[in-house]
Amino acid sequence: MSERHERNIFSRYRALTWIGGLVCFVLVPVLLLNALVDNTLRLRSEKEQQMVFSEMDNRLNFLSQNVDIPFFLHKILKRQVDRAEAHAQPLQSLEQSIKELKKKYPGLFRFIVWDARGKTVDALTDEKSYRYIVSNLYGFFGEIAEHCRNEYPGFPELLPIVDKRINIFRAYLGRFLVPSHLRYPFQKGEHGRMILSEAPQRFPLFWFDARSDFTIFCAANPTEKHRHIGIQSAVDQINSDSDDIKTTFIDLRKLPVGERRSHFDQMILLELGKFENASLPHRQLKDHLVAFKLLDPYLRGCCSISRNRLQHGYPGQIKARLFARLGIIASLIIFVFYCYSLRLPQLNFSLITRIALLFIYVNGLPLLILGTIGHEYLQQLEGSLLHTTHRDHERLLEEIDAGYRKFQEVLAARTRNALASYSVDVRDRQPDINDVPFFQSIVKQLQAEEAYIYGRDGEVLLGYRRARKAQSQSIMKLFSAHMLRYMNRNPEGDSGPARGFGGASYLEMSKESLSRDGMSLFRSMLHVADHIEMLSFGTEKRMCFFSFFGDKSRRSFHSLLMLSWLHNQVQEAYAKHQAAELAAARNKDIRLVCMSQHSGNLVGSHKLADASIRPILQRGFNLQSARENALYYKGRRYIVTALAGRQLDNMSLAAIIPGDEIEVAVRNAQTQLMWLGLISLTIVSGVVLALSRQFIAPVRQLAEAVEQIGRRNFGFRNNIESADEFGDLGRVFNSTMAGMHELEIGKIVQATLLPEALYRSGRVEIFARSISMTKLGGDYFDYCKPAAGLTGVFMGDVAGHGIPAALIMAMAKAIVTIDQESLSDPSQLLTSLHDVLFKLKSDGFKRMMTCQYLVIDDQTGACRFANAGHCYPIIVSQSGSTSAFEEIVGSPVGISKRARYSNYDLAIKPGDTIILYSDGMLEARNSQNLEYGPERLLELTRQAWHQDIQQYYSNLYQANLAWSDKIEDDITIVLIRFSTEAPECR
């Protein structure tokens, strides 16, 4: 019953063990691996999509630039002119370019080309009339081109030749010509374009350029058929790269109505409708990524790519394929392992293998968790570092922008210092023509645009401008005269003429204009005197510095100085200064680049190409801020933060830093994680190694001891000296080995107590064998010769096993050997044995024994039998035709005081076999826990019968052994056959 209970418990725990093993060793690792793969693929997919959308935005921005016809035509004309200038024969190259343009765009262009001497090249000139104007345009265009290149962005409206001849050329170039627009062909980036000058029925656009070997003029008349030439050219150029992103444009005025469309076209139009409603440019569809951009009121740019073309377009499918491959590999491994296990009688893992598998698990699981968390941490770290970098750069740009006001104060202080000595020199005199060299040096030193000194009547005492013609001074004359009058007014508020005021009629000022309210303008000028402030001069803004010359102590001023700077140039100078300071800082890799909104000029030290940085700076203008995490130039990554200036309202500022620092930080974090993993692996490996040594070394010694037992070397002793359970087990094992050594000796002694297996006497043939479940079993059999012609057979089973059972067996042997008088009487022999065992019981040695004894006549087969509680003997007839129990009872010896045993005669016929056996035969159980039992034993005695008595024994034993799940008791079988005739002596 206890064994059955143990098996039920084992079955329950075995199921739980399998469930726990599947959860711990399969489910948890698979879930962690799934999380790692899913997170990795998701992040990579998002990053790839960001890069694709960024590339799409760049392409759509390129379309947006080229949708503007003046810009597109300017770009292709400038490209052809640059190519011609670099050619060995410029005019020949230019002729080829003009032919190509006219062939590609018929009716669009008209050209005039001059050579280096100013003579028109008739073969390249379409204008055959207006000879006077054409000949004069050469010098007109040449001077403007030289000015715009040398004084970028240029102010052609201030050139004398423009002021003098603009009205003449308007008759040919167009009556809408604005002089300041003459700089457009020489502007950089998106600022360059053709010049609009005429009504649409004539050539409304023109463009010109002057190079060392030629000067070119081009007029363009784009018609309806030329509406999309710019954007179509851009689309063709982009799609010519044959990459996976397809770029196109959609004209809302030409959408087909009622036509059958492909599934892709329907999808694009559907997403376009969503874009029109929600203005979300990036669309993530099931099978495509799509981006839109508003190009003009009727045109929409569109970029699309199939997810199949992306490396991580379908993360779910990639993960499914990966796990399918892992499943196939795992299945193959399991199949190979299963096939290998079929060749083994019993699959068993050694302790070392189990520890190795445990080592892989306890290391792999934390490393898998670390990898899952670490990968996401690295992605978040990079994002955090990028965000921090952009935020720091934005603060830096804001500080630079806010410092512009301080720069104005510094410039004002430099101006005051430069004029300090001169102000003292002219305290008692008016400036004159002799002071012109000084003012020239001041203008150059301060990089000012102009300097003027006005007298009391507003007359210009001194004037100097740099690189541009003088403008009308009427307003400044009037302003300076009244300003000086206000400064020289009577302190008591007398409304009469101010001290030293002239009598020019245009300077007369009414009392009303000199009233308290009318003086507010002049009072405000007192706050800006000797400071720099921004003032508007028509459409132009300037930074102005005013200073009064004269005797301040007597409030007698004779002249007013005005220094002015172009606002745009001051901002560019400040930006250049800040860029130089950042570049000089050795501990910083930040570079400052600024772009002027007015001219498109780039200021600052940078390595990036203009084409790379300009779009980002332009986004800074449009969006107030722009961030670029990965701008690659010549294989190197840069991080760009752009910001629209506030104080620097004409500038877009960008901070550029190499991405190496962030990449190094991410790599360092990755290295740290790898080191943490390696340290964890090392620590766990050390712990596992130490534990394995602590466990395996004693186990190996115990295994060696078991092996020595198998070799019957019971003198072996292990040397486990630890104080833990292994030490206790080692000591117990040594003690057991010592006992087993004694048992081995006892086994040898016991083996000598048993007779030979085969015995013959007359017509009696005996074969017996005892199989013990321990070294010292409790079963005993023996043969003896009570008298001539008689054979005695003793069979006994001592309760228990081991040494006590062996001792009882030895006593039984002694009685059989010594008590010769009782050998012929079975009951008497059992009584003698009972008396001895009962005496031992009274002395405290409590052992009982079941036994039986028979005496058979070697010639006649007459047999007397006595039984002391042992199993009923079986008599099997010749050839195994019948078998039956001889139910002879009796109490075991050594139990009751008055035991009585009787003799019974057994009817033995020639050929019969008497079978004596121990209860191990009957009590054998199979895997279903069924007992063998007497009925099966009777059936077996008939089926297993054999002429050869030894084979008969073998058949009986093997059949019983095959039935048994395991041997649980000693098995002894004694076969006594009374032959039909005396067997031959062997």
Q: Classify residue 138: in a domain, yes or no.
A: yes
Least confident range of 50-54, 189-193, 427-431, 840-844 = 840-844
Q: What value, to the nearest 5°, has the Cα angle with vertex 140 and ends 137 and 141?
A: 85
Q: Is there a single domain that holds both residue 546 and residue 584?
A: no
DSSP state at residue 470: P
Quick one: pLDDT at residue 491?
A: 58
For residue 635, being part of any structural domain is answered with yes
pLDDT for the residue numbered 3: 43
The answer to whether residues 820 and 944 belong to one domain is: yes
Tens of pLDDT, residue by residue over 321-371, are 998 998 899 899 888 888 877 776 666 666 667 666 776 666 666 776 777
User: What contacts 816, CB < 8 A, 6 or more positions away?
Assistant: 782, 784, 792, 794, 823, 829
The two structure tokens encoding residue 643? 């910001």
664, 682, 702 - which closes a domain: 664
Same domain, 906 and 761: yes
* Residue at 351 is within a domain: no
Note whether 583 and 598 are same-domain residues: yes
The CATH number covering residue 969 comes to 3.60.40.10
Quick check: is 399 in a domain? no
Q: Are residues 774 and 850 in the same domain?
A: yes
DSSP string, 677-722: HHHHHHHHHHHHHHHHHHHHHHHHHHHHHHHHHHTT-TT-------
Q: Residue range 605-616: average pLDDT?
A: 74
- Could you tell me which residue, 246 or 730, shows the higher pLDDT? 246
- Mean pLDDT, residues 596-609 taken together: 76
Q: What is the pLDDT of residue 760?
A: 93
DSSP string, 392-444: HHHHHHHHHHHHHHHHHHHHHHHHHHHHHHHHHHTSSS---GGGHHHHHHHHH
pLDDT digits (tens, 9 = 90+) for 784-797: 999 999 999 999 98
| Radius of gyration in angstroms for the set of CA atoms belonging to the chain, rounded to a whole number | 59
Question: How far apart (Å, rounded) are the C-alpha atoms in residues 147 and 466?
Answer: 12
Query: Does some domain include residue 152?
Result: yes
Please write the tens of the pLDDT for every residue from 443-493.
888 888 888 999 888 888 888 877 555 566 777 888 888 888 888 876 555
Q: Could you tell me if 576 and 472 lie in one domain? A: no
Q: So what's the pLDDT on residue 153?
A: 78
pLDDT at 80 (0 to 100): 94
Express each pLDDT in 937-983 by its tens digit. Answer: 999 999 999 999 999 999 999 998 888 877 777 889 999 999 987 65
The answer on 117 and 208 residing in a single domain is yes
In this structure, what DSSP letter does residue 179 have? G
- In this predicted structure, the answer to whether residue 918 has a pLDDT above a threshold of 60 is yes
Residue 8: pLDDT above 60?
A: no
Number of Cβ within 10 Å of residue 410's Cβ equals 14
Q: What is residue 139's three-state secondary structure?
A: helix
**Average pLDDT of the chain?**
83
Give the per-residue pLDDT at 347: 61
Span 632-658, average pLDDT = 87
pLDDT at 767: 96
The interaxial angle of helices 69-86 and 28-66, nearest 10 deg, is: 80
Q: What is the mean pLDDT of residues 603-618?
A: 76
pLDDT of residue 501: 46
> What is the number of structural domains in the chain?
4
Per residue in 401-412, pLDDT (tens digit) is 888 888 888 888
- CA dihedral (731, 734, 738, 739) positive or negative: positive
616 and 647 fall within a common domain: yes
The pLDDT tens digits for 77-121 are: 999 999 999 999 999 999 999 999 999 999 899 999 999 999 999
- Mean of pLDDT values over 146-156: 85
Helix axes 229-239, 69-86, angle to 10 degrees: 60
Domain hosting residue 181, numbered range: 65-222
Residues 613 and 543 in one domain: no
Are residues 545 and 592 located together in one domain of the fold?
A: no
For residue 887, the model assigns a pLDDT of 92
Torsion over CA: 521, 523, 529, 534 (sign): negative
The pLDDT score that the predictor gives to residue 609 is 63
Question: What is the model's pLDDT at position 543?
Answer: 86
Mean pLDDT of 915-924: 91
Q: What's the pLDDT tens digit per position in 826-842?
A: 999 999 888 888 887 76
The domain spanning residue 594 has which CATH number?
Answer: 3.30.450
Label residue 373 by pLDDT band (50, 70, 90): confident
- Statement to judge: residues 544 and 616 lie in one domain: no
Taking residue 945's Cβ as centre, other Cβ atoms within 10 Å add up to 19
On the question of pLDDT at 855 being above 70, the answer is yes
pLDDT, one tens digit per residue, over 779-825 is 889 999 999 999 999 999 888 766 777 777 878 888 888 888 889 99
> Does residue 310 register a pLDDT over 50?
yes
Q: Based on the domain organization, do 925 and 799 belong to the same domain?
A: yes
* 722-770 pLDDT tens trace: 776 677 777 777 777 776 666 666 666 666 778 889 999 999 999 999 8
Does residue 814 belong to any structural domain of this protein?
yes
Specify the range with the lowest mean pLDDT, choosing from 134-143, 438-447, 473-482: 473-482
- Is position 880 within any domain? yes
Q: How many alpha carbons lie under 13 Å from residue 494 in its C-beta half-sphere?
A: 10
Residues of the chain with pLDDT > 70, as a percent, come to: 84
pLDDT tens-digit readout, 543-586:
889 899 998 888 888 999 988 888 888 888 888 888 888 888 76
Written as one string, the DSSP assignment of 861-885 is: --EEEEEEBPPPPEEE-GGGS-EEE
Strand-pairing partners, residue 219, are 110, 206
pLDDT of amino acid 2: 42
